[in-house]
């Protein structure tokens, strides 16, 4: 296990807003940003688009994420192929992965439902760690709000896996 490197990741999924209630489906984007804890730097970034097998990219999803059906059709690949690229470029079970919230469960459940081996074993929920570090026992806080409360500027469009993973990596460098 490489304890000097943490791979921050963010997922975007097919999503809908029905009667004011949001729901999500299959993963359509995985953003990654790897940090080196010794040098306190972001050392690698990547963005992968995933072709959903059953879901469609809704107009609501396009407006929220900026990901269009055309982009998924042209650049998306099956989840299994994306995971193979992730492992090749970032390492699999020899790295620690981190997200804001329980994206690991979403990722794990989708892999399990599709019969794909899950690409990592070690996981850090940075939202929980942040709440512990800042004594926010009963208060939930979003990633962007947490980052800005630490004086770290948000860069780019929120709800882009690539952008969100990069911003999470910036925050993680102050937490780990």
- Taking the model in full, what pTM does it have? 0.96
Residues with Cβ within 8 Å of 94's Cβ and at least 6 positions away in sequence, in order, are: 1, 2
Give me the helix-helix angle, 161-175 and 126-133, nearest 10°: 40
Please tell me the predicted confidence (pLDDT) of residue 137.
81
Please tell me the predicted confidence (pLDDT) of residue 138.
81
pLDDT digits (tens, 9 = 90+) for 35-72: 999 999 999 999 999 999 999 999 999 999 999 999 99
pLDDT confidence band for 21 (50 / 70 / 90): confident
Look at 6-15, 18-27, 153-162 and tell me which has the smallest mean pLDDT.
18-27
């Amino acid at each position: 296990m490489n304890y000097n490197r943490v791979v921050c990741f963010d997922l975007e999924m097919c999503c809908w807003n029905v009667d004011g209630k949001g729901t999500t489906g299959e993963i359509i984007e995985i953003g990654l940003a790897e940090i080196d804890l010794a040098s306190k730097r972001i050392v690698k970034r990547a963005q992968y688009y995933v072709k959903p097998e059953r879901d469609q990219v809704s107009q609501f999803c396009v407006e929220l994420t900026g990901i269009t059906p055309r982009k998924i059709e042209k650049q998306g690949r099956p989840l299994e192929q994306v995971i193979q690229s992730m492992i090749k470029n970032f390492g699999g079970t020899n790295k620690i992965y981190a997200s804001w919230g329980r994206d690991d469960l979403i990722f794990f459940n989708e892999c399990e439902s599709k019969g794909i081996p899950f690409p990592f074993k070690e996981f850090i929920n940075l939202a929980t760690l942040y709440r512990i570090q800042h004594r926010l026992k009963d208060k939930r806080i979003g990633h962007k709000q947490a980052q800005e409360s630490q004086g770290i500027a948000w860069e780019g469009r929120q709800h882009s896996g690539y952008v969100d993973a990069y911003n999470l990596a910036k925050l993680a460098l102050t937490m780990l």
